[in-house]
Structure 1
């Protein structure tokens, strides 16, 4: 178990580094917080106790406890509250993080803290944040996929939306998303000379590849217009990894999907450096999608899927409603209805 715990510790540290969050292991570089932890023994002895990692981002403290075993993620009471018995805060990630965060909030001038429990490994994990202050209780927050929203750029927006429940201007308006869809369609025609039925494949393929940035297996900077391994081949390989990571199967189904994306690597026009752009059209499209879709749509104020809205609007420029291409997008209200019926 000790070896598995170390692997989890290292993975969490790597994710914090990737999200540009400066942290301290087993203590804090901030003297006041370290002094508060000097009496934070989980067993209530008054001796020192230290979480896996502590970070200070703006005026927020982030406290992280992790466990290798997913079954040791959180322990609740019969009334569905975070259990605070010695065994619970010692054995469970969320409970331990909550204990340390509350202790810091009550014994230092840092009154706003996010307690984050992490369990599992790089492939299968859970990341659960709680908001904690020096008063009794805590705010339950939805599980997250990474620590991105807790870095210096995002943490205050996250706090406003998820803790204070205030609206922010981080979300892109629907109007802007629809405008971007129109703009991208024009770029695909101008620089890629693509047929209508191929445009959705290029866009959806790049969106899948961009999802691999976090894993480190794909980067836009790698798209250099190389003749040996083309930009299209790099994006195609990233798509394949994304589908495998998402457990799309069986193999025959995945192979059929990959054959549809072959246009990305077989189109000479997409893979040649454009004289006007000074880069390949594929890199240009990838930069556009990351900047205008991924980086600007960080939160959702409702069940509405903004990326779905973008893609749906884009489809209207590429073969009507998409059904002529064999693509049918379920309306959002139908998705919401069935999610409510299934309680998911």
Structure 2
């Protein structure tokens, strides 16, 4: 007679071989229970009897604190003939049916990766599914390359495959934008930050959290000491990134306004560790997980865009124009950029054109050396505003360790113009600042400067007014 314990041991052996038990702080493997309140609540009426009055649990529940919006469920059956029913409607008797039954009880809070296993080490069957958060319809789990997953793989690979699903991407982007709105309100109402300070607080904190020491120890610092630790961690990460032409002082100076902000370093009754601590904690829990998944998602730009919506609509009051992601991606497609191109933006802003180009260029690379060459040598930008320059350079650091050649100053400056031309970029992209007064430079001057900065035969793409 088949023994389900043998199947569970088969799964357990696979998990051990793939290092699921190597670091309990990074991966949590639970068996037929969970200490996570939202999972316990979701499964509190998930008994496979169908009556919905008692709890039910799969054989394994796997989570990771670094990716809190995903959970892996594993359901086992002893015999392969009980792997899957014809209509997946018999959760008590079949492995696939059972794991999908449990998944539907958790998708209000999680994207669920469901794994059904049946059989013995000699003869077994595995099935992998993903049910995106907010839905009840499972999909076959496939790798980012499009190949179906048919055997157990590491947790990061499972998460990457689930994140590849278009519905999961859409939901995660929605969650991120929703959180950006909540963060704006917190910064406005509690921290009393000005509009220009909010994106710097976000970008600076995300950079600081890239320092493992800061990420692990910031919560132990008193409210009055944390801002200094915060700015030192930013300098440490930026210095380590070794952006080719960026000066550490130029990069970090805009963040010093956050460092000395009086409201952020005061302990209060509601926030005894200070408001900066709360900002760091929120971003560590809500945003940092996205940085490991959305390698082509302009996180800082998305936050910045959300914050600007509250300044009067389009950000013009701040003298800033942000290019939407769909436009930056369109420019990269129009130029058909590849690993052999060099891309220039002389009004780089938060780096949207450069990031979209980098993503598409990397897709054409075949070696790590080519990828490194793209990041180090084939992305050139100029930005005059110190704050926007800091945000753009920060964005390159956060988005895939980009090391663009970012110059801080006017694109019309003789020295900067000469330095830019030495790169011999063959693709130029620009969304120029629009003239608001007669004294302002006309936007076509920027387009002309961009074209003059390209190598002979180069391609320039610009957003220009139609009159």
Choose 1 or 2 for highest CA Rg: 2
| Structure with the larger RCO, 1 or 2 (CA within 8 Å, 6+ apart) | 1
